[in-house]
A and B are shown apart, each in its own frame.
Chain A
Amino acid sequence: MFKLIYKDLYQLRKSFLLYCGVLLGLSLLADSFANGAFGALFIVVAVYGLTLRSAYYEDKDNALTFLRTLPIQAKTIVIAKYVTVALLLSLVGLFALAVAAVFHLMGTPLEADLLSLYLWATAGIMVLVSVFLAVFFRWGYNRAVNTIRLLFLSLFFIPIIISRFSQDLWPQNSNLVETLGRVITQPLFPYLMASLVLGIYLISMLFSIRGFKVG
């Protein structure tokens, strides 16, 4: 498994440096990028981009078939990919935090509640890559990319459509919004969210192990 993780990280080394370079460059250019808030977007974009890149390498050269010719169990290949993505997420998150910390020490004020912002970004991207990897291992790269596109479109357009056509219902829904707001501010909420996201990630991994197809 470690050899597979090493292989993934080795393949992604240039892309990783590129993403980190972009964050560093933008932070040097403007304070609005250096206050740490941009790091949350960076986490989402970089982790998704690196996951996509890693899957692309496997797809382009049909390398999953190659891996299956080696003495490696199918589930090891799947688990290794999930561990790699989790590792990338940690590295990218730590880098974003480190950049924010350095610029803070240099005098740039930090965005209020920065850690919470990063946690939301981490949760969001983990759900996104869970969906991506589950589709990738079962149906291949192209379908995985298209699924994420559809998901993005849904996330953007469904709320707009709902709000456009149900304006009359909106006041009745405000109770729901208030309730959600109360839940989110509960002290246990971050733990609940972390458990939920980890659960989704694990379910996605189990689904991928069951559905992994090559050849």
Chain B
Amino acid sequence: MNRPILKLDKVSKTYPDFALREVSFALPAGYIMGLIGPNGAGKSTTIKLIMNFFPLESGKIEVFGLDHCEEEIKIKQQVGYVGEFQQFYGEMTVGWLIRFVSGFYPNWDQQYCQELVNRFGLGLNKTVNQLSKGMRVKLALTLALAHRPRLLLLDEPTSGLDPVVRKEFLQELLEVVQDEERSILISSHITDDLEKIADYITLINQGSIALCQPKDLLLDSWKKVVIKDRQLIERLNPWLVYREPGSNDRVGYTDNFPDLQRSFALQLAEGQIVAEPIDLADIMSAIAKREGK
């Protein structure tokens, strides 16, 4: 991993009904990290803490190697943010909003902005209130990209979008990281999207990091295991992180398939154990169930 563009070190924040506990991860330049987890796990809180919307209780956040509080302006000039809800001044026109936002970024690229406006079909004279949900997301993405940020923070940006707009959005993100200098941290419930675009996956569950790994390694390590031979159930226990209830202990999930493969090569070959690939949603679900949520 090269020098991280974003680094969280034991970040904690407590609310009356929820706590983010010692969250640590690092995102290298040029990569996309997907932040997944059940509702209320702490994904949005993590992104809002990075944006310095509210103070940390403990820990440290560094963006581009700078302290996120002390160098807030310098950092935000190089960060693009798209939230779940596009919170703009509803009665202002798209053109006015673009002019207003552009004034805060010294490296605003008006030509690129115009290109994005044309590509997304944004009418400059329309008010924000006249835009559909999909168009608002496109406007948010335009505003987030036009200053060519080194880091994009996306908090559930595709929720509520139809598949066509979602696909366009993801395509745009992939183009953004083409030059391998920019990074993206994206939280989403739609794990299919993250499977398509993310290089790293960080799973937050109940306010703590449950895992943080390169996506390919994660999908290689996690498998659904179907045990055909009852006698193997006990022997397989150390490799299984969770067993599906109602399967008579015959179906479980492993997070260390390469090791299981070495230890049970013969049984796998003979079909006494069947390993099936699983997706991010299954992994998220298995971890949440294992930890009681």
Chain A: residues with CB nearer than 8 A to chain B? 3, 7, 10-11, 57, 60-63, 65-66, 68-73, 213-215
Q: Is the C-beta of B51 less than 8 angstroms from some C-beta in chain A?
A: yes
Known: A68-B51, A71-B76, A213-B54. A63 touches B88 (CB 8 A): yes
Q: Of B72, B96, B100, which contacts A73 at CB under 8 A? A: B72
Q: Is the C-beta of B89 less than 8 angstroms from some C-beta in chain A?
A: yes
- Contacts A/B (CB < 8 Å), 10 sampled: A3-B104, A7-B89, A11-B91, A61-B87, A66-B87, A68-B51, A69-B76, A70-B76, A214-B54, A215-B53
Known: A65-B53, A213-B54. A71 touches B90 (CB 8 A): no
The contact string, 1 if C-beta is below 8 Å from chain A, for chain B 22-36, is 000000000000000
Q: Is the C-beta of B120 less than 8 angstroms from some C-beta in chain A?
A: no
Contacts of A65 in B (CB 8 A): 53, 83, 87
Kindly state the separation between the CA atoms of A7 and B96 in the bound complex, as whole angstroms: 10
The contact string, 1 if C-beta is below 8 Å from chain A, for chain B 172-184, is 0000000000000
Q: Of B74, B77, B87, which contacts A63 at CB under 8 A? A: B87
Count: A-B pairs, CB below 8 Å: 57
Asked whether, in the complex, the Cβ of B73 is within 8 Å of the Cβ of A62, the reply is: no
Q: Is the C-beta of B169 less than 8 angstroms from some C-beta in chain A?
A: no
Nearest chain A residue, comparing its CB with the CB of B99: A3
Kindly state the separation between the CA atoms of A58 and B163 in the bound complex, as whole angstroms: 32
Kindly state the separation between the CA atoms of A214 and B85 in the bound complex, as whole angstroms: 14
Counting chain B CB atoms within 10 Å of each CB, the highest count among A10, A66, A73 belongs to A66
Asked whether, in the complex, the Cβ of A70 is within 8 Å of the Cβ of B101, the reply is: yes
Known: A3-B103, A71-B77. A61 touches B48 (CB 8 A): no
Asked whether, in the complex, the Cβ of A66 is within 8 Å of the Cβ of B88, the reply is: yes
Q: Is the C-beta of B105 less than 8 angstroms from some C-beta in chain A?
A: yes
B58 to chain A, nearest CB (A): 19
Q: Is the C-beta of B200 less than 8 angstroms from some C-beta in chain A?
A: no
Q: Of A7, A61, A69, A214, which contacts B100 at CB under 8 A? A: A7
Nearest chain B residue, comparing its CB with the CB of A63: B89
Counting chain B CB atoms within 10 Å of each CB, the highest count among A10, A57, A68, A71 belongs to A71
Kindly state the separation between the CA atoms of A164 and B282 in the bound complex, as whole angstroms: 72
B74 to chain A, nearest CB (A): 8
Given contacts A7-B89, A65-B53, A213-B54, 16 further A-B contacts (CB under 8 A): A3-B103, A11-B89, A57-B89, A57-B91, A61-B88, A61-B128, A63-B87, A63-B88, A66-B88, A68-B51, A69-B76, A69-B81, A71-B74, A71-B104, A214-B53, A215-B53
Kindly state the separation between the CA atoms of A215 and B90 in the bound complex, as whole angstroms: 18
Contacts of B74 in A (CB 8 A): 71
Q: Of B85, B88, B105, which contacts A71 at CB under 8 A? A: B105
Q: Of A62, A63, A215, which contacts B48 at CB under 8 A? A: A215
The contact string, 1 if C-beta is below 8 Å from chain A, for chain B 237-263, is 000000000000000000000000000
Asked whether, in the complex, the Cβ of A73 is within 8 Å of the Cβ of B73, the reply is: yes
Kindly state the separation between the CA atoms of A214 and B128 in the bound complex, as whole angstroms: 21
